[in-house]
């Protein structure tokens, strides 16, 4: 009798390796397309193409069909892959540092439905028997357990095993064994979970994906990543994978979005976020005093809700990319929140005075306008990005005037800084920056890292 115990370790790290018709310098021609750094390959048909070891750093692959392509060892650092199809692509060994992957299609990772099917089946057994149930015969059992792992829930690899022989009195009929994770270190954990029930779901497992730093330290600061609408947790980890001195925790929005006001999702995302933060603080290697939220677009809007509505001490740094406060959240010199999660911002709040806030926004953003105003498709009116940071600074104690319109120059002539309260509340204006701040990833990581370390 050899029951098999599947330990579900759903890894979000995408890896691979390839070689083909590409020259040693990473350039060449494939399917009639010129391959090389900064190549313009928007909507290109490269399905099944051999692009192994290619240099596509900084390339525009938005909307490209890369399904089944061999991208192993390919340099995709800084590339744009918005709306690209990567289903079935081999990405082993690919460099995805700074790659923008919003709305990218993946099928080589387990879907939420796949994951739920397995986990819910396991939980149903646990609820009835505590774990796997084994019938005993004549009071003796030879028990062997194989430990297997998978990254797609279909292919499993044996990683270890354990066996024992148990002899008991004849009147014992059944045996069960329980699987527990006694990890005190987050290095032993790949995912965290929080179960919720709301109008659209019952006992729904919300997942938080973990990327642990390679560097050695007793404790690490944490960055919780919140993706934009239509994107996913994997894309956010890929985008910020270069920030390897932090524990990266990527949350997944229900139906790939966050419930701010009138989104299709009605999930209580602040409860999900707060619960994951509480879990994180239970691990010995998490620096509980240095937990940062970093959101992009719709994810940034959730950060804005969190900085207004979550209790003092929940997290330290609120960092947003491409989303300022709405007039629902700030009007009549007051901050407002949606305390019962019904889309109505009727509860007034005072900002937690220990918060630090960093906002980044591009002046050429055609999705969430830098200058604010009414966005009809969003059914929301936004403050100007500079007005938004000024009101946040005032809510945190600033009593002086606004920073001059042009701000302070930075080493990048296209980026200007607006700092308040000794650098604890800061806005960066990216001249010509689009909604995804394409081409600025290295600057973004430097700004974020500098801000967090300045605590």
User: Residue 123 maps to which CATH number?
Assistant: 2.160.20.80
pLDDT at 101: 64
Domain count of the fold of the chain: 2
Q: Which residue has the tokens 């148990």?
A: 166
177 within some domain = no
Which domain covers residue 248, as residue numbers? 187-454
Last residue of a domain, one of 129, 162, 197: 129
Neighbours of 165 (CB within 10 A): 9
114 and 236 share one domain: no
Burial environment of residue 91 by CB neighbours within 10 A (0 to 12, 13 to 18, 19 or more): buried
pLDDT of residue 154: 72
Q: Decide the pairing of beta strands 191-198 and 201-211.
A: antiparallel
Q: What pLDDT score was predicted for residue 164?
A: 80
- Do 125 and 193 belong to one domain? no
Same domain, 92 and 191: no
Residue 13 lies inside a defined structural domain of this protein: no
Residue 143 covered by a domain: no
Residue 293 sits in the same domain as residue 408: yes
The pLDDT value recorded for residue 124 is: 60
What pLDDT sits at residue 110?
47
Judge if 94 and 195 occupy the same domain: no
pLDDT at 7: 32
- 319 and 244 fall within a common domain: yes
Residue 14 lies in a domain: no
Task: Let me know if residue 121 belongs to a domain.
Answer: yes
The model scores a pTM over 0.75: no
Whether 285 is in a domain gets the answer yes
Using CA atoms, how far residue 321 sits from 24, 301, 303, 337, 365, in Å, is: 37, 9, 10, 20, 11
Q: Is residue 142 part of a domain?
A: no
Residue 107: its pLDDT value, please?
46
| CA dist., res. 246 & res. 62, Å (int) | 29
CATH of the domain at 210: 3.40.50.1820
Per DSSP, 102 falls in state T
Strand partners, 135: 174
User: What local confidence, expressed as pLDDT, does residue 79 receive?
Assistant: 86
pLDDT tens, per residue, the chain with 455 residues: 333 333 332 223 222 333 347 998 999 999 999 999 999 999 999 988 999 899 999 899 988 989 888 888 899 888 888 778 887 787 767 777 666 665 555 544 445 565 566 556 656 655 554 555 555 556 666 777 778 877 766 788 888 887 887 777 666 666 666 665 556 788 877 789 999 999 999 999 999 999 999 888 899 999 999 999 999 998 899 899 889 899 999 999 999 999 999 899 999 999 999 999 999 999 999 999 999 999 999 999 999 999 999 999 999 999 999 999 999 999 999 999 999 999 999 999 999 999 999 999 999 999 999 999 999 988 999 999 999 999 999 999 999 999 999 999 999 999 999 999 999 999 999 999 999 999 999 999 999 999 999 98
Instruction: Identify the three-state secondary structure at position 283.
Output: coil
DSSP state of 18: -
Residues 117 and 216 in one domain: no
In a domain, 105, yes or no: yes
Q: What is the pLDDT of residue 103?
A: 55
Give the Cα separation of 59 and 37 in Å (integer): 6
Q: What is the DSSP string of 20-49?
A: SS--TTS-EEETTEEESTT-B-TT-B-TT-
Cβ neighbours of residue 452 under 8 Å, at least 6 residues apart?
A: 221, 223, 290, 292, 317
Query: What is the rounded CA–CA span in Å between residue 251 and residue 258?
Result: 10
**Are 371 and 234 part of one and the same domain?**
yes
The domain boundary residue, chosen from 129, 144, 179: 129
Task: Compute the C-alpha angle 442/305/325, nearest 5°.
Answer: 70
Residues 210 and 309 in one domain: yes
Distances (CA, A) of 39 to 49, 68, 69, 80, 434: 16, 20, 17, 10, 19
Q: Say how far apart CA 102 and CA 395 lie, in whole Å.
A: 33
Domain boundary among the residues 129, 152, 169 is at 129
């Amino acid at each position: 009798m050899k029951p098999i115990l599947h330990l579900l370790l759903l890894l979000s790290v995408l890896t691979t390796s390839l070689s083909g018709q590409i020259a040693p310098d990473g350039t060449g021609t494939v399917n009639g397309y010129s391959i090389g750094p900064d190549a313009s390959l928007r909507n290109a048909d490269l399905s099944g193409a051999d692009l192994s070891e290619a240099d596509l750093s900084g390339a525009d692959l938005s909307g490209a069909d890369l399904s089944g392509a061999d991208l192993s060892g390919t340099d995709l650092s800084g590339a744009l892959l918005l709306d690209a199809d990567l289903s079935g692509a081999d990405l082993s060994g690919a460099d995805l540092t700074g790659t923008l992957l919003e709305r990218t299609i993946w099928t080589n990772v387990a879907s939420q439905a796949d994951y739920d099917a397995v986990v819910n089946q396991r939980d149903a057994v646990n609820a009835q028997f505590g774990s796997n149930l084994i019938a005993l015969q004549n009071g003796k059992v030879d028990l062997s357990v194989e430990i297997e792992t998978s990254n797609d829930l279909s292919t499993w690899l044996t990683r270890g095993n354990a066996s024992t022989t148990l002899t008991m009195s004849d009147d014992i009929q059944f045996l069960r064994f329980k699987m527990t994770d006694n990890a005190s270190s987050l290095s032993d954990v790949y995912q965290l979970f929080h179960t919720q029930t709301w109008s659209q779901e019952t006992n729904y497992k919300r997942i938080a994906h973990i990327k642990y730093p390679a560097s050695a330290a007793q404790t690490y600061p944490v960055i919780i990543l919140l993706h934009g609408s239509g994107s996913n947790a994997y894309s956010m980890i890929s985008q910020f994978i270069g920030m390897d001195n932090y524990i990266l925790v990527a949350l997944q929005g229900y139906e790939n979005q966050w419930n701010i006001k009138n989104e299709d999702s009605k999930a209580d995302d602040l409860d999900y976020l707060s619960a994951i933060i509480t879990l994180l603080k239970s691990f010995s290697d998490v620096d509980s005093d240095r937990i940062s939220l970093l959101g992009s677009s719709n994810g940034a809007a959730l950060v804005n809700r969190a900085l207004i509505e979550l209790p003092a001490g929940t997290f330290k740094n609120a960092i947003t990319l491409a989303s300022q406060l709405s007039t629902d959240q700030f009007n009549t010199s007051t901050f407002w929140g949606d305390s019962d999660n019904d889309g109505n911002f009727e509860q007034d709040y005072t900002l937690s005075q220990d918060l630090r806030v960093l906002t980044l926004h591009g002046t050429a953003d055609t999705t969430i306008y830098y200058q604010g105003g009414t966005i009809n498709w969003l059914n929301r009116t936004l403050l100007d990005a500079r007005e938004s940071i000024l009101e946040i600074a005032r809510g945190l104690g600033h009593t002086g005037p606004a920073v001059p319109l042009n701000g302070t120059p930075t080493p990048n002539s296209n980026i200007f800084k607006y700092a308040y309260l000794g650098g604890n509340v800061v806005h960066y204006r990216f001249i010509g920056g689009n909604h995804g701040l394409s081409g600025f990833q290295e600057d973004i990581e430097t700004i974020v890292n500098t801000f967090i370390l300045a605590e």
